[in-house]
Amino acid sequence: MSHEKQFYINGQWVEPKGDRTVDVINPATEEVVATIALGNEEDVNIAVAAARKAFDTYSQTSREERIALLERILEIYQRRSEEFAQAISLEMGAPAKLSKYAQAPSGTGHFAAALKALKEFEFEERIGNTLVVKEPVGVCGLITPWNWPINQLACKIAPALATGCTMVLKPSEVAPLSALLLAEVLDEAGVPAGVFNLVNGDGPTVGSTMSAHPDIDMMSFTGSTGAGRQVMKNGAETIKRVALELGGKSANILLDDANFEKTVAHGVMSCMNNSGQSCNAPTRLLVPNSRMDEVAAIAKAVAAKVKAGAPDAPDTTIGPVVSKAQWSKIQDLIAKGIEEGANLVVGGTGRPEGLDKGYYVQPTIFSHVTTDMTIAREEIFGPVLSIIGYENEEDAIRIANDTRYGLSGYVSSAELDRARNVARQIRTGMVHLNGAPLDNNAPFGGYKESGNGREWGHYGFEDFLEVKSIFGYYAEK
């Protein structure tokens, strides 16, 4: 890759206007693997101007033209999939298998889902004599995180392109390499100049400039709840649309008739996957009080099989967390759990045995966690599971909803109707029944402080569209 110190603006790789840079650190080795340029307000203004100019023509392209564009992007992306996998492992420490079989393919999944939705989406509707038209919202500011870098890039860029919007992207400065690769793919696919623009930078400079910019019509942000709150505040001055996908503290309810050996194992591995760095991870395992010790024993045995190690090692289950700052935050929260009296089943503070370098966290499980403990309430964003007891089904639902977050939830029961009934009472944007996987064609997003709006599939189009009523359109001439 040769564009680390450049931005992609108006169809060209250009030099930044400032001279600030930041090192990209491989979290497995703590070594510098790249140095990227950091943009400033002038860079953002140039990118926004390019996107504004391009919107006049790109917003008028036909469905067929945008279908052809997405098809070209998919073909080139798939050809370079191995490069994406390598970049993701390098920038955020994902194990090679996870990068190859989950992280990198997530881009393919979202571009394919957007393509499918575009072919079927109804952009016009007749209501009496009125024509209701869904039109592109305009210039979009996109800010993406480091934990599933390509996943979040694709589920914003694909619907923006599909609906006729133009955009300015600020990927995470912590894990920017896969975003630069994607810019190369979009360039090769022939995305018209100015439709897609990339400016690397930090949140306080580039992110704040974007979210407050009068010529950006909507912001789509994925990241922490605190940062999302700031994006919304910045956007309020210009009354721009703000779509947010934020943090989570998802409950995983095991009803008393579930297969505990199977469901506890699935819950532990789902929590540990990606080193716990998933906003929808099932980090609160809710089980009957009478079976707490049984569940803790099963969870401990499963955690023993979770191997933290180098991303390229064949027996690695989880890699490091993304940065020293994240590692330190997780260590503090694990220590807080011990201090507040939770039972440490396995793991704890410090690196796993045998690892003296890299931001590795011990797979950690607490049992007998109470709902007032910090580890039951705060998003830890590491491989840390809290097991919480409940008295009955109603109590489990109450505990699941006793959180400021509302992103996802999980329910397991031998009786599907029973699981369905519980799912309907959980105040979250998503619920998984009996281990059901995500679906790229179904909406992804949350309630409460987990955000607003929805991504993925045809639901992901809505935030990128304005609705216009043309009254009398069908009136007799």
**Residues whose CB falls within 8 Å of the CB of residue 295, separated by 6 or more in sequence, listed in order:** 254, 260, 264, 285, 287, 367, 387
Q: Are strands 7-9 and 12-14 parallel, antiparallel or unpaired?
A: antiparallel
- Read off the pLDDT of each residue in 91-106 and give the average, rounded to a whole number: 98
DSSP lists the bridge partners of residue 23 as 35
pLDDT band at 328 (very low <50, low <70, confident <90, very high): very high
Q: What are the tens digits of pLDDT across the range 191-242?
A: 999 999 999 999 999 999 999 999 999 999 999 999 999 999 999 999 999 9
Whether residues 459 and 388 fall in one domain:
no
Q: Is residue 332 part of a domain?
A: yes
Give the mean model confidence (pLDDT) for residues 6-34: 98
Number of Cβ within 10 Å of residue 184's Cβ equals 17
Q: What's the whole-number average pLDDT of the chain?
A: 97
114 and 78 in a single domain? The answer is yes
Q: How sure is the predictor about 476, in pLDDT bands with cuts at 50, 70 and 90? A: confident
Query: Would residue 432 count as lying in a domain?
Result: no
- Mean pLDDT of the region 158-163: 98
230: three-class secondary structure by DSSP: helix
Band of residue 267 on the pLDDT scale cut at 50, 70, 90: very high
Q: Is residue 433 assigned to a domain? A: no
Nearest to 283 by CA among 375, 371, 418: 375
User: Which residue, among 103, 116, 111, 191, has the nearest Cα to 150 in the 3D structure?
Assistant: 103
Closest alpha carbon to 157 in 146, 174, 175, 142 = 142
- Percent with pLDDT over 70 in the chain: 100
The helix/strand/coil state of 458 is: helix
- Please say whether the beta carbons of 9 and 201 come within 8 A: no
Q: How much is the average pLDDT of 438-463?
A: 97
Q: How many helices (H) and strands (E) does the chain have?
A: 15, 20
Q: To which H or E segment does residue 243 belong?
A: strand 241-245
Residues 240 and 336 in one domain: no
**Does 139 lie in the same domain as 94?**
yes
d(CA 251, CA 364): 17
| CA of residue 142 relative to chain centroid, distance | 12
Is a pLDDT exceeding 80 seen at residue 477?
Answer: no
Are 154 and 19 part of one and the same domain?
yes
Q: Which pLDDT does position 2 carry in this prediction?
A: 75
- 348/244 Cα distance (integer angstroms): 33
Which CATH number belongs to the domain containing residue 417 in this structure?
Answer: 3.40.309.10
Q: pLDDT, tens digit, for every residue of 54-93?
A: 999 999 999 999 999 999 999 999 999 999 999 999 999 9
Q: Looking at residue 419, what is its pLDDT? A: 98
Enumerate the β-bridge partners of residue 243: 220
Residue 386 lies in a domain: yes
- The CATH number of whichever domain residue 233 belongs to comes to 3.40.605.10
238 and 258 co-located in one domain? no
The total number of structural domains that make up the chain: 2
Residue 1: the pLDDT is 57
Half-sphere exposure of 53 (CA within 13 A, CB side): 13
Quote the tokens at residue 275.
Answer: 């080193």
Q: Say if residue 160 is in the same domain as residue 58.
A: yes
Mean pLDDT of 379-404: 98
**DSSP string for residues in 333-371:** HHHHHHHTT-EEEE--SSPPTT--SS-----EEEEEE-T
pLDDT digit string, tens, across residues 402-425: 999 999 999 999 999 999 999 999
Clarify whether residues 324 and 394 are in a common domain.
yes
**Considering the domain boundaries, does residue 445 fall inside one?**
no
Q: What is the mean pLDDT of residues 458-476?
A: 97
If asked whether residues 242 and 282 sit together in one domain, one would say no
Decide if 439 is inside a domain: no
147 contacts 279 by C-beta, under 8 angstroms: yes
Confidence (pLDDT) at 389: 98
Identify the domain containing residue 41 by its residue range: 7-247+450-470
Whether the predicted pLDDT of 342 surpasses 60: yes
Which one-letter DSSP state was computed for residue 175? S
The C-alpha atoms of residue 396 and residue 345 are separated, in whole angstroms, by 22
Same domain assignment for residues 340 and 388: yes
d(CA 449, CA 407): 8
Instruction: Kindly name the residue from 91, 173, 245, 462 that is annotated as catalytic.
Output: 245
211 assigned to some structural domain? yes
Q: Is 178 exposed, middle or buried (0-12, 13-18, 19+ CB in 10 A)?
A: buried
Q: Which of 287, 289, 211, 296 is nearest to 251 (CA)?
A: 287
Scan for tokens 């603006």, then name that residue.
9
Shared domain for 301 and 232, answered yes or no, is no
* Statement to judge: residues 17 and 122 lie in one domain: yes
Q: Distance between CA 276 and CA 278 in Å, rounded?
A: 6
438 within domain boundaries: no
- Distance between CA atoms of 93 and 407, rounded to whole angstroms? 25
Q: Any catalytic annotation for residue 188?
A: no
